Amino acid sequence: MNAYRRGPLIFDVVDRGPADGTPVVLLHGFPETSASWDLVAPELAAAGYRVLAPDQRGYSPRARPGGRGAYRSTELVRDVLALADSAGAGAFHVVGHDFGAAVAWVLAMRSPERLLTMTALSVPHPAAFRRAAFSGPQGLRSWYMAFFQLPWLPEAMLTAQSWRSFERNLERSGLPQQFAERYVTHLREPGALTAALNWYRGLRPLADARATKVAVPTLLMWGTRDAYVHETGIHLTERYMSGPYRLAVLDGVNHWIPETAAEQVVELLLPHLAAGEPAAV
């Protein structure tokens, strides 16, 4: 595990593959860590890419600022750009799952000149998600997002109940036990749970770019057994694309795509990344 710095914050990052390979930044979601990419990263590195998988803001123990304002989308995006800058990457590929996909979408909207390609796993374009949440079944699946934005109460309820119950809930949604145990152990570190929930509390600024169309070549993957994200927003995403776009529907796959469908992820990713590689001079 290596590290990079942005101001006073120090982020842990898995850095593998050839140093001169085109960088691919892998962004995890909630309540994951960079370990969510353990089955994907080695295959990308073996294909010649330099793989950078950070423990994002709040998940890295030395990068846990207090307050919801520190978890605005602008800060999350700048963290990713700081990682790319530290790796000497002018342009790079970004792949995000869950909340990491939300960051990747905003990055593609606000700094498209830095991206070669964008890939989102499980989560549609923010405007499509918002529209689906107010007009269909997505709202019921997203009830916890509003709850997690409340101050102190989610922490009180999550820590009052057995951590094993939380872990079992993750397993029931399809997350393999070894990953659920690892993520819950990480969340039990001092300050980690509040920092992870602050991602939800900082959601409001995502509205700033909610209707911006994405021109970056984009691949969206979604599993038909996703318990958290309904297909409505997934299929609405095409309306918010102005560049090359592909939707890959993974039959029988749940929300935890990197952990449970790594082989399919790599099979879809490699040609998508190759198509976005800079032309040889």
Alpha-carbon separation of residue 255 from 59, 160, 168 (angstroms): 20, 26, 15
Tokens of 206: 């995502």
CA nearest to 251, candidates 229, 231, 224: 224
Please check whether residue 106 lies inside any domain of the structure: yes
Distance from chain centroid for Cα 67: 21
Please check whether residue 230 lies inside any domain of the structure: yes
Range of the domain at 25: 2-275
E strand residue ranges, the chain: 2-6, 9-16, 23-27, 50-54, 92-97, 115-121, 218-223, 245-250
At residue 277 the predicted structure's pLDDT band, cuts being 50, 70 and 90, is: confident
Q: Work out the percent of the chain whose per-residue pLDDT is above 70.
A: 86
Please check whether residue 143 lies inside any domain of the structure: yes
Please check whether residue 280 lies inside any domain of the structure: no
Q: Which residue has the higher pLDDT, 140 or 225?
A: 225
**Is the overall model pTM greater than 0.85, yes or no?**
yes
- For the segment 234-263, the average pLDDT, to the nearest whole number, is 97
Q: What is the pLDDT of residues 105-162, one digit of tens each?
A: 999 999 999 999 999 999 999 999 888 776 666 555 554 555 455 454 556 666 656 7
What whole-number distance in Å separates Cα of residue 75 and Cα of residue 69? 9
Q: What is the pLDDT of residues 75-96, one digit of tens each?
A: 999 999 999 999 999 999 999 9
Please check whether residue 281 lies inside any domain of the structure: no
Residue 131, phi then psi, degrees to nearest 5:
-65, -40
Residue 183, phi then psi, degrees to nearest 5:
-70, -40
Residues that are catalytic: 98, 200, 255
Kind of pairing between the strands at 23-27 and 92-97: parallel
Q: Evaluate the omega torsion of the peptide bond into residue 205 and state whether it is cis, within 30 degrees of 0.
A: no
Specify the DSSP class assigned to residue 223.
E
Number of domains in the chain: 1
Q: Domain of 86: which CATH number? A: 3.40.50.1820
Specify the DSSP class assigned to residue 17.
S
Contact at 8 Å (CB) between 13 and 4?
Answer: yes
